[in-house]
Each structure stands twice: as C-alpha cells, then as structure tokens.
A and B are shown apart, each in its own frame.
Chain A
C-alpha cells in the first residue's frame, strides 16, 4: 500500500511566498489575540485554588453558588462543569496559609447540605509559588530553544539553526494563539505540551534538513530551491505517516483521556498540525531567504574532508612508527 506515493516533485518553493504570507498572518493574528485577550493563566502560574467536587447526581450549581456567597473568602469563585454534569470545579484566586484548615476544607464545610458529594481534588498554589513556577516555565522554554539551537548549528550550519528556530517560534506562537483563542487554562501541563511541540516540530524539520543536506552533498550545481523541493517530496510520505500516527494517538488522548488531560492534548493537537506545516513551509523557505550557499558549503565540506584525510595520514604514519 502506497497512498502517499509522491513520484513527481512538488514545486513547494514556488508556493513559498503564499505560505509565507499565510504564516505571517497567522503569527500576527496570534500576537494580536495574545495582546488583546491574553492567556488565561491557571492556578499553577497565577496562584489560587481549585476544588473539584463530584456529586452522585447532577451537581446543583445554582445552590452551590448561593452557599459559597455566605463566606467572603469565596469572593469571585467560579463554578464550572468538569467533564460530566455531576462533576464541577470551583476556581478562585483565594489561597490560605493554614496547614490544618485550608480553603478546600472551608469549601467542603460550606457545601454541606447541597447533596451527596465528595471532594476529589484540591489544588492550592500560593502566590509566591505561582510566580516561581512562571519564572521557571519561561526559563525552561528559553533554555530548550537555546540548547536545540546550539545542537542544530553544530550538526548542520548556523543558517539551518536559524531556520529551525524560525519554525519553532512560528509553531509556539500559533499554538499560544490557539490556546488564548479558546481560553484554555494555562497550567504546567500546557507548558509541558509546548515543550513537547518544540521537540516534535523540530523532529520534522530536521528530517527535511537532513535530506536537503544529503541533496546538497550529492547534487552539484543544482539550484538550492530545486534540492529543497526534491528533499521535501522525498520525505513527504514519512512526514504524512508519522504526523498521522501521532495525530491518532493524541486524538484518542483528547477524546478518551479524561478532562484533566484535555488542555494538554489540545495543545499537542494544534502543535502537531502546525509543526508538520512549518517544517515544509517555514523552515525550508527561511533557508532560501538567508541565502544558504551551496557552493560555499561544498568548499567547506571539501576542506573538512581534506583535514580528515590529513589526520588519517598522520595517524597511520604514527601507528606504523614513522615520524
């Protein structure tokens, strides 16, 4: 079976202008959403309390609201359904410092009389811890990007590194835009998903770059854009396949993984789609844009080969005892 058989070379780079415009629109649109609507930080980063309550029948949300009004500590608490109609989540900005009696306990006492329920989860994140987590989160994103940049520059060439980072920035921006658009709560799991997108999107980009490198080494005097088109076409079957299998599993996670994993799965879904697209339409055209010089690269490779040969000669001389 070969339904992703691509024998004819697609003219990707001819369409790269159109793709560029689309990408720029999407990224700018994401920035706009982020600037106007902003991210909805969850308790992990903003500090606050989450209390998850499960009733044995449908949750009496109105009655719960009435009850919570009786205590000023629950000021501004929101109650939303969580996965099913008998389970709800109470979110608030309040946190307490007492170890023995905390906001969660107060909520449990306050809700007495609203029916049979159990408190399934209490998350309290104090403001100090929240800001620390935020700091760490941003740091980890930056560090990951820097680490990847260094590795790619070391393995390929600096232009490849810049191009792959462009693709990464593109993917993360659009993913963040999508998160802001649907008003997803940004917690640690979403951050983990974003970092996974970094790795995944790069995965795709590198597979393409690897082919381009190979094409450049083999194909002398061929226009770079042609080499790129060839390389993308050759890797297209693999890209489609892997993206599909990964999309499948993340989609099952999204559908059946339960409410808690929802935000994580959603972020990954967006990332897989955008990451696949960007490895073709963002990373490669950027290479062209930066004027990756095939001839120069050949000269460099030749020099490297010469050095290697020289080393080899020295070594063999040394080993045979001739100095």
Chain B
C-alpha cells in the first residue's frame, strides 16, 4: 500500500481553506480577514493633484520675508523690494550693503544671484524648482496622512500614485456630513500668517484697488467673520505657520473656543522683535488668506505663543487645530478623481452579488451531479474546496474584496469545474475504449494535464496584465481570478486525483460505471 500523497495534500488544502477563511466568514475578532473594498462597504476614494507652481511662489515669498527681516536686523535700508513667481529684486540705498545681502542670498539653497550696481536679484535654479515641487507633493502626502490619522477613521490610505498624484482612500464613511468634514480637513491649507496692519493707509482700504495696494507693498484681505469688512496689511508676513510647533483648542473667558499656538525659537525671536517695535499698532492674525483677528499690540510679546479667536464651534476648532498641528500644505490640492459610495449601495451590491454567487453555484453543482453522478460529486467537492481556498488566500494576504472581485469569484465557479470536466471526459473516453478502471484514471489524468495547464496559464497571463494595469476595483477582479485559477488547478489536478485513487478499489469492484461516471457500459 503506497502512500496516497495526493489525498493528503488535498485534505491539507481543505483544512487550510476552512481554517483561514473562518475569520472572514464569521467575522471573528482575531485572525486575518478579507477587507471589503470601498464599493462594498461604502467610502471615499480620491485622486488629488498638487498645484506645485504655488509651492514655488510661496517659497519665494518666504525668502522675501526672511531677507526683509534680515535687513531690518542689520539696519540695511531697502529702497524697493519686489517679488513674483520668478524671483526677488531688491534695490538698496547704500551700495556697501550689497555684499551683505549677497552673502545672505548665497546661503539659500539653489539660489541664482545677480548683482547690478545697487540692485540685487535672486531666482531659483531649475533643479531647485523641481525639488521644491517634489517636496510639495511629499509634504502634502505627509500632511494629509497626519491629519487623517487624527481624524479617527480606521486605516485611512494616503499614498503617492504615479509621479504627481496622491491617492486617498477612506473606508467606512457613513454620512454625507462625515465625508464633508474629511474633505475639508484634507484640503485645508491651514496657512497661518501673522501680518502687520498698514496703519498709515488702512482707513482708505474701502476705496483702494488691489493694484494700488500692491504699489505700497500691501494686500487687501477680507475679515473671516464678515466678508464686507476689509483690512489692509503688509504683503510680506512677519512670520508664517512653518515656525509653529503646536496648536491646541482652548477657551476664552466667555467659554468660546479659541486656538492657542506656540512658536519655535526662531519664530519667537522674530515675533518678540516685531511686537517690541510695533507697540500701539495692530497685528493681523491671518489664516488661509482671511483675517481672524487684528488685536492692538500693547507690549512686546515674548515666549512665542499666541491665540486665534474666531467664530467657530468646538468641532471646527478641533479640526483647525489638527490642521495647524500637522502643518500647512505648501501648495493647494485639487480633485482629479473621486469615487464615493454610500454604505447602503455597498450593502445592496453585496446582496446582489451573493445571490448571483449562490445561484450560479447551485446551478453548477446540480448540473455536475446529474451529468457525471459520482464523478460530479467529486468535482463539486473540489469546487467547494476551491471557494474556501480563495477566501483563505485573500484573508492571509489581507487582499481587498471588491464588487468586480465578487464577479471574479462567480466566474471562477463556472470555470473551475472545467478542469474536472476535461478529466472526466477523458476517463469516460478511455472506459469506452475498454481500458481498465485503473488505466482509465491514470491515463485520463495524464492526457488532460497539458490541456489544463496551457488553458489556465493563458488565462492567468490575462489576469496578471489586468492586475498590473488595472486600478482599484478592477485589481480585485484580477486577484480573485488568479487565485481561483491556481486553486482550481490544485484541487483538480491533485485533489480529485487523490480521491479517485482512494476509491479505485471500490470502483473496480462495483462495476457500475453509470453510478461512478454517469455512463453505460
């Protein structure tokens, strides 16, 4: 009696399938489970683009702010300072100061500095621009991930896709409001700027055009609480959110939520210097281009902390603090693709595909038994084992089951019996030729092998290509098809062969080919 190794492997495969698919089937607490795709459990999938040119602009703006601060500290008198997306141009009153500024500029990475008399200009090299753009994308991914981690969803996905796209996937969003909140949190620039109010001209702000304001080096900003109220502030901020180290929700004396923030050493120093110089003037706290408050500076503010009061709810304040804490977006993001599915639709999809799966499954099972009798039952055992194995493998890999993935499983049910059909037909043929049962089984399997392998491998090629090129839900289809094909080869080639080996003696004894193979003779 030689060891029937095939049946052993088959039994192990069935055990493996049942054991590892159990957590998914019964939604157990522990054990690896198949995750449901966004299209089945509801959720939000977005592809975001980054307006990288804005990142370059704000980089230049922050260089302008730092050179202004530098020259004030060194008592260098600047005649004019202009900047645009190309670079910065300064004209100095004293030619002797050019060297000082020039050495300051040279310390800036990727700077191209040109000096003509007392004019000095700075632009960024192509490599530096590219680096800034790439950094804006990486920073956006980092920032969005930080924000979503604090938002309280299970396992948000934030990843780079291709060169310049950001993939965001949020599963299990239940309501429109929740989705809205998540989207606001993701896209919020959270750019904090502290700016000086132009006290000399702010009275005329309502009759001033934007270009006139620009000629004074100012910008006109709206008030956050009331869009009709306008403020005139210096265009170059005193400092911005990059010097922020922390932001938290606090409450004022009337128990209204406010946000307190703290600055790093450099920020604290600049802030202290400025407030010391500007007692009696107003400081505008600007968030995302809107003025939240413009308190009068009563004394020098050291220690590097401040507050942003505004008209918001506790929830809004919380989200705002998260956004500030996780850093601002260097560049605005925009929507390239969005797919959002409500939970009820997901549930409907699960129901419909389960009906199709069970319906198709029952049809195939009945058909096989009627046509092949016992051989059909053996094929059906392989088919059921197949389903378990697909689920088990998917659970182990933590693969995602999507609606097309479900369709793939349904299709697998139809195609998985194919290998057994080929084998059964071969066995029948050989019995008709008058071969012994043993010979018919052995040769039947041997003859069928090449056909099964070739046919399945070509389908596998198509599935692999689909996986490599497919996106999202379609990938799920490719996965289930591939696993299904591999599992059906295992169950058909090894599994059922083992079963026949086990039963061979009985088949020979009974002489009832109708019962075993559904044929007369």
Contact = CB atoms under 8 A, between A and B. Distances in A.
Given A203-B455, A245-B417, A98 B477 contact: no
A241 B186 CA distance: 53
A264 interface: yes
B180 A246 contact: no
A39 B359 CA distance: 32
Contacts of B478: 192
B462 A124 contact: no
Given A118-B344, A199-B459, A252-B356, A207 B422 contact: yes
A253 interface: yes
Given A192-B404, A242-B415, A253 B356 contact: yes
Interface in A93-130: 96-100, 102, 104-105, 108, 118-126, 128-129
Given A244-B367, A248-B363, A260 B403 contact: yes
A191 to B, nearest CB: 7
A126 B473 contact: no
A54 B348 CA distance: 12
Given A234-B429, A257-B352, A261-B403, A207 B451 contact: yes
B390 to A, nearest CB: 15
A191 B461 contact: no
Interface stretch (B152-160, B220-228, B332-340): B332-340
B67 interface: no
A256 B359 contact: yes
Contacts of A207: 422, 451, 455
A188 B519 contact: no
Contacts of B421: 238, 241-242, 245
Contacts of A246: 411, 414-415, 418
B463 A199 contact: yes
A126 B48 CA distance: 10
A264 B356 CA distance: 13
A189 B447 CA distance: 36
B474 A122 contact: no
Nearest to B416: A245
Contact of A256 (B340, B355, B457): B355
What DSSP secondary structure best describes chain A's contact surface? helix
A contact residues, range: 35 or more
B469 A104 contact: no
Given A147-B461, A246-B411, A122 B363 contact: no
Given A125-B337, A148-B461, A252-B359, A242 B417 contact: yes
Interface stretch (A8-16, A65-73, A136-144, A298-306): A136-144
A162 B207 CA distance: 78
A214 interface: yes
A297 interface: no
Contact of A133 (B353, B471, B520): B471
B187 A100 contact: yes
Contacts of B219: none
Nearest to A258: B352
A253 B411 CA distance: 9
A260 B356 contact: no
B377 to A, nearest CB: 14
B345 interface: yes
A21 interface: no
A258 to B, nearest CB: 3
Given A121-B345, A191-B474, A200-B415, A151 B461 contact: yes
Contact of B360 (A54, A155, A253): A253
Interface in A146-191: 147-148, 151-152, 155, 188-189, 191
Interface string A188-229: 110110011011101110110111001000000000000000
Interface string A1-30: 110000000000000000000000000000
A140 B337 contact: no
B46 interface: yes
B229 interface: no
Contacts, number: 242
Contacts of A258: 348-349, 352-353
A52 B348 CA distance: 13
A182 to B, nearest CB: 19
A314 to B, nearest CB: 26
Given A246-B414, A258-B348, A1 B335 contact: no
Interface string B362-390: 01100110111100000000000000000
B407 A265 contact: yes
Nearest to A133: B471
B106 interface: no
Interface-central residue, A137, A139, A245, A253, by most chain B CB under 10 Å: A245
A121 B342 contact: yes
B186 A245 contact: no
Given A102-B335, A248-B360, A52 B455 contact: no
B425 interface: yes
Nearest to B413: A249
A250 interface: yes
A137 B422 CA distance: 33
A315 B331 CA distance: 68
Given A120-B342, A198-B462, A258-B353, A248 B364 contact: yes
A151 B463 CA distance: 14
B465 A1 contact: no
Interface in B445-502: 447, 450-451, 454-466, 468-471, 473-474, 477-478, 481
B352 A256 contact: yes
Nearest to B465: A144
Contact of A248 (B367, B404, B518): B367
Contacts of B180: 100, 105
B192 to A, nearest CB: 19
Contact of B411 (A191, A196, A234): A196
A268 interface: yes
B183 interface: yes
Contacts of B425: 235, 237-238, 241
Nearest to A257: B356
B107 to A, nearest CB: 37
B317 interface: no
Given A203-B418, A261-B407, A252 B338 contact: no
22 contacts: A2-B518, A52-B345, A98-B334, A98-B335, A102-B338, A128-B49, A139-B469, A143-B465, A188-B474, A195-B463, A199-B459, A199-B463, A203-B459, A234-B429, A245-B368, A245-B417, A248-B360, A248-B367, A249-B410, A258-B348, A261-B349, A264-B404
Given A126-B336, A128-B336, A238-B421, 6 more contacts: A99-B335, A120-B344, A189-B474, A199-B460, A253-B356, A264-B407
Q: Which 4 residue pairs are nearest across A and B when measured between Cβ atoms?
A: A249-B360, A258-B352, A199-B459, A246-B414
Interface of A: 1-2, 52, 54, 96-100, 102, 104-105, 108, 118-126, 128-129, 133, 136-137, 139-140, 143-144, 147-148, 151-152, 155, 188-189, 191-192, 195-196, 198-200, 202-204, 206-207, 209-211, 214, 234-235, 237-238, 241-242, 244-250, 252-253, 255-258, 260-261, 264-265, 268
Interface of B: 46-49, 176, 180, 183-184, 186-187, 333-342, 344-345, 348-349, 352-353, 355-356, 359-361, 363-364, 367-368, 370-373, 403-404, 407, 410-411, 413-415, 417-418, 421-422, 425, 428-429, 447, 450-451, 454-466, 468-471, 473-474, 477-478, 481, 518-520
